[in-house]
Amino acid sequence: MEKIFVIGGMGAGKSTARKALVDQGLEYIDLDKIGHEIHHWQVVKDDLAAAFGPDVLDADGEVDRKALARKAFASPAETRKLNRITLPRIEDAFTTKLDELEAAGCPAVVVEQSVFKSRQMSLAYLADVVIAVLAPLEVRIERAVASGFDEKDVRRRIAQQITDAERIEQADVVFNNDGTKEELYNKVIDWWNDYNAVD
């Protein structure tokens, strides 16, 4: 099963690239969605409350993601604390999903990954292809704010992520998304058609 990872900073356009591939019939795993799902696991809630304080849980005992983000992205040390709690659980859920797709005979899957450091230090060690989607910083911030994020939070999160230069170094394919969504979408489809033809 071909495993195609899409990486990029917040607001870069990963979702548009992923949608282009899904529209070509690929299965899809969203690691952010898995990350949200594990926040409902009791063991994760307990660990987060112990690490960051009980106020990261709301009145119903669920994770208050905004409150958690304020604390977890306040410094690199706090982000590492979050990752130590969540990443092993995300990996468990992810590899289970991959195994299910492979057992079902799925030929290819696209994986959208926000928390990417390097191929060796992330789930992308499993990747056949890593696609990096890049966009200018201010454009990314503008897009993220337009989709409902707080600007300070966006800037904090971006500061914890690797640079575009580092993404280029790790990627097999690079798309610059400084135009419209449609332009990026079409560029990804053109690449997929060429990639399949070679395959």
**Strand spans (E) along the chain:** 2-7, 27-30, 108-113, 129-134, 173-176
Pairing of strands 2-7, 108-113: parallel
* pLDDT for position 199: 55
Q: What is the pLDDT along the chain (199 residues), one digit of tens a residue?
A: 999 999 998 899 999 999 999 999 999 998 888 989 999 999 999 999 999 999 999 999 999 998 999 999 888 899 899 989 998 999 999 999 999 999 999 999 999 988 788 888 778 888 999 999 999 999 999 998 998 888 988 888 888 888 999 999 999 999 999 889 999 999 999 999 999 887 5
Determine how many CB atoms are found less than 10 A away from the CB of residue 180: 10
Number of compact structural domains in the chain: 1
Listed residue (183, 197, 195, 132) closest to 20, CA to CA: 183
* pLDDT for position 124: 87
CA distance 108 to 131: 14
* pLDDT for position 101: 96
Listed residue (95, 183, 137) closest to 8, CA to CA: 137
Give CB contacts under 8 A, 24+ apart, made by 181-186.
Answer: 181/13, 181/16, 184/13, 184/16, 184/17, 184/20, 184/133, 185/16, 185/17, 185/19, 185/20, 186/20
CA distance 192 to 38: 32
Residue 26's domain comprises: 2-198
**CATH classification at residue 99:** 3.40.50.300
